[in-house]
Amino acid sequence: MIIEITGRNAPQAYVDGLWQFRTAAKSEDTRNGEAMVLPAPAFLTIQFPEERLLNCPVRRVNPFFHCMEFIWMMAGSNNAHWISRYNKRMMEYADDGILRGAYGYRWANPIFQIPQIINLLHKDPGTRQAVLSMWDPVHDGAGARSSDRPCNTHIYFRVDETDSLNMTVCNRSNDFVWGMQGTNVVHMTMLQELIALSANLKVGMYHVFTNNLHIYTSLPRFEEIYNTTLDIDIYKGDLRCEELFPLLAGDETHVDFVTDCMNFVDGAEQFKCEWMNNVAYPVKMAWIDKKNRAHWINEIIALDWHRCCEDWEYRRQQRNKMN
């Protein structure tokens, strides 16, 4: 039996997944405490992965962190200190300041996997060998000492008859709220978009197979989150995927984007790619320049990132007023 979670986009899949938990999940004791666990492997399908941002006021997703995390990943970094500026909890999984399971670092080391996949898709769109690996038995096996083992182990790419790039992520174990529909849905679909655009393909469907999908009951506001039924979908109406700001524009390439990400992490302020200048940089500045946060949020050209950052700041201010 496979438990299916579906949605047009990330917000819709989030609500459907929570319904699946309320319907089928059982309580289990884990090494991290009690969790509600689905009784069988789960398979997630999102039809339009570009509609990736969750703006649920109950969940309180941090869009600043999600944006910065993808840049950090594409820079090939495993330095926990840089990314922890946007999420202090990242240091909890680090060994001596290093996140040993960092996806981006594994994509880039010891070989550059992503350019090879792009080239393969260019040469042979019908290939079944476009595989991105994240699991390393030497560093992640039972005998290895690490505070950070990858939850997502492999990614498979497939081009369909419409010249759309579908992506399937294989996952050993995932927290639905923080992982699958938290950080993973953002950075994985951004990776899918980047590879699709680099290979002159359309963005297809996003799939995730997970062997163990769970939600920890120690999650802050667990009851409120677990019982969420309202579909807070910022992509309803005019803001559909065809209106969104693409990661690559014009003659920009994957190499340009990765170079920009590496320079971004090193502190650069000007970039070749439009998305880096008009989305990533103002998102960063809105986070670090708190006095001028409203100004920088207004500089974010991408409507979905703009709206999520703006709403996050508004809700933060409202909570501060109540405390």
* Confidence at residue 98, expressed as pLDDT on a 0 to 100 scale: 87
pLDDT > 70: what percent of the chain? 98
- Confidence grade of residue 145 (pLDDT, cut at 50, 70, 90): confident
Domains of the chain: 3-245 (3.30.572.10)
Cβ contact 31:53 at 8 Å: no
Over residues 57-81, the mean pLDDT reads 96
Q: Compute the average pLDDT of residues 40-56.
A: 97
**% of the chain exceeding 90 in pLDDT:** 84
Segment 223-245 shows an average pLDDT of 84
Q: How is residue 16 written in tokens? A: 């459907």
What is the model's pLDDT at position 239?
Answer: 66
Report pLDDT digits (tens) over 159-208: 999 999 999 999 999 999 999 999 999 999 999 999 999 999 999 999 99
- Among 14-23, 92-101, 210-219, the range scoring the smallest mean pLDDT is 92-101
Q: Please report which confidence band the pLDDT of residue 16 belongs to, taking 50, 70 and 90 as the band edges.
A: very high
Predicted confidence at residue 242, as pLDDT, reads 62
Q: What is the pLDDT of residue 226?
A: 97
Q: Are 176 and 135 in contact (CB under 8 A)?
A: no
Read off the pLDDT of residues 90-111 as tens digits, 9 standing for 90 and up: 988 888 888 888 899 999 987 8
Does residue 125 register a pLDDT over 90? yes
Least confident of 34-43, 101-110, 140-149, 223-232: 140-149
**What confidence score (pLDDT) does residue 21 get?**
98
CA dihedral 261, 266, 268, 272 (to 10 degrees): -20
Q: What is the Cβ-side half-sphere exposure of residue 109, based on CA atoms within 13 angstroms? A: 12
Sequence length of the chain is: 323
Indicate whether 240 pLDDT > 70.
Answer: no
Banded model confidence at residue 314, pLDDT cuts 50, 70, 90 = very high
- What pLDDT was estimated at residue 294? 96
Using CA atoms, how far residue 33 sits from 36, 40, 126, 196, in Å, is: 10, 20, 44, 39
pLDDT tens digit string along 129-140?
Answer: 999 999 988 777
Q: How far apart, in whole angstroms, are the C-alpha atoms of residue 16 and residue 43?
A: 12
**pLDDT band at 238, cuts 50/70/90?**
low
Helices marked H in the chain — which ranges? Answer: 10-24, 63-74, 80-83, 103-108, 113-123, 137-140, 185-198, 222-226, 254-265, 274-275, 281-288, 293-298, 303-322
**Which pTM value belongs to this model?**
0.96
Lowest mean pLDDT among 32-41, 112-121, 236-245: 236-245
- DSSP codes joined into one string, 143-212: T---S---SEEEEEEEE-TTSEEEEEEEES-EEIIIIIIIIIHHHHHHHHHHHHHHTT-EEEEEEEEES-
pLDDT at site 243 = 74
Half-sphere exposure of 163 (CA within 13 A, CB side): 6
Tokens, residue 303? 């409507």
